[in-house]
Structure 1
Amino acid sequence: MTVFAHSPDGLLVPAGHGRQLVTPAHEITFKVTGEHSRVASSFEVVVPPGFDVGAHVHAHSEELFYVLEGELEVLAFEPRIRTSDDWKNWRSVTGRRPVHAGPGTVIVVPPGCPHAFANRSGEPARMFFQSSPPPDHERYFEELFAILSAPGPVDESAIAGLRTRYDIEQLTPLRHRH
């Protein structure tokens, strides 16, 4: 059961609570939504092994990622050249490269900054994710989980259309193990 304690003083979402969306391979918990905050939506996300969100950019959204458990490979910079292959080979004009991010790592992504994360390990990773402004990412995740929960193979064209509708310019492919 999801329990929110909401008062004029603030919102308390106890550990293990929030609205969950779950598929056999994906899990996200809505912690703070546009119903509760004018500033940002907050989520706890389980990133399954083999998942790569693909490099992408938002024209209007700002994001913050905090790795809680596991390890992710992350990118948050403009590359010298935006290639359409795997972003792990990208380099910035100052020499930055994608990094391995373990627990305690924070990644802040301003609007217009290419970014990506991938779980290239064999174990799930868990992160806190915040996006501003709300509620676009909330709606995006609801629609994405509906696509991922449909029977049969994942409808990649539906995901591509969804990402376009929600201010996500996909630069490299989204990849996931089935």
Structure 2
Amino acid sequence: MPPGHGRTLTTAAQHVTFKVTGAHSRTASTFEVVVPPGFDVGAHAHARSEELFYVLEGELDLLAFEPLVRTRDSWRDWESATGRRAVRATAGTLVLVPPGCPHAFANRGGDPARMLFQASPPPDHERYFEELMEILASSGPDRPVDHEAVARLRVRYDIEQITPLRHDAGTRQETAPTP
């Protein structure tokens, strides 16, 4: 797939390009995701899905482990039984997230970050992104995001949200794609 190709879904703050879908592979879907500054996906887990994150450009804080204590407000201070903590990931960093493993990513920098994101099995994440972008597109300055619709969507697509999704460095909670 040449650069710039693939089916792209865009909202004011989100940009997801489908590179490989369930129509191409029975094993995994692959996306290029632009993570805007100040965005925090929140810690979450999937009972059935395996994910892979590969940072292409910029910096992201990444977490992929079961913490000693799952706090509900923030994942940034989580620590595993072996002392692992979230890492600052730069271009070239790869994180594999097995099913059931809590994980999160956030862009605390001032520039967008890009990552290659892979989810298995397809096409659940593809459908999730499509439906989520429809919900986000129906919101605007005079119409807030329908958080109940997003919560129902997450339940349907095997997403246990552990800590809140945030944008603008944690000052405003908003809804955005949860890989």
TM-score, length basis structure 1: 0.91
1:143, CA displacement in angstroms?
Answer: 0.7
Residue 164 (structure 1) aligned with residue 165 (structure 2): no
Stretch moving more, 78-87 or 158-167: 158-167
Q: 1:91 aligns with which of 71, 76, 79?
A: 79
1:176, CA displacement in angstroms?
Answer: 2.3
Q: 1:100 aligns with which of 81, 85, 88?
A: 88
Q: How does 1:128-143 map to 2 (within 5 A)?
A: 128-143=116-131
Q: Which runs of no fewer than 5 residues in structure 2 stay unpaired?
A: 169-173, 175-179
The structure that has the greater radius of gyration is 1
User: Which residue of the partner structure matches residue 118 of structure 1?
Assistant: 106
The runs of at least 4 consecutive aligned structure 1 residues that moved more than 3 Å come to none
Give the letter for the 2:60 counterpart.
Answer: L
1:153, CA displacement in angstroms?
Answer: 1.8
1:76, CA displacement in angstroms?
Answer: 0.3
Kindly, what percent of the aligned residue pairs are identical? 71
- Paired residues in the alignment total 166
The superposition leaves residues 109-168 of structure 1 with CA deviations (integer Å, 9 ceiling, x where unpaired) of 000110000111111000000000000000000011111111322222222211111000
Give the letter for the 1:79 counterpart.
Answer: P
Q: Distance in 2 between matches of 1:68 and 1:174?
A: 22
User: Which residue of the partner structure matches residue 146 of structure 2?
Assistant: 155
User: Which residue of the partner structure matches residue 171 of structure 2?
Assistant: none
TM-score, length basis structure 2: 0.90
User: Which residue of the partner structure matches residue 26 of structure 2?
Assistant: 38
Q: Which runs of no fewer than 5 residues in structure 1 stay unpaired?
A: 1-12
CA RMSD, Structure 1 to Structure 2 (Å) = 1.0
What is the SS of the residue equivalent to 1:89?
coil
Q: Distance in 2 between matches of 1:119 and 1:43?
A: 18
Q: Distance in 2 between matches of 1:176 and 1:27?
A: 15
Q: 2:46 aligns with which of 48, 52, 58?
A: 58
Q: Distance in 2 between matches of 1:104 and 1:110?
A: 20
The superposition leaves residues 21-56 of structure 1 with CA deviations (integer Å, 9 ceiling, x where unpaired) of 011111000000000000000000000111111100
Q: Distance in 1 between matches of 2:144 and 2:108?
A: 22
Give the letter for the 1:91 counterpart.
Answer: E
What is the SS of the residue equivalent to 2:67?
coil
What is the SS of the residue equivalent to 2:85?
coil
Q: Distance in 2 between matches of 1:104 and 1:29?
A: 19
Q: Distance in 2 between matches of 1:155 and 1:52?
A: 19
Q: How does 1:62-73 map to 2 (within 5 A)?
A: 62-73=50-61
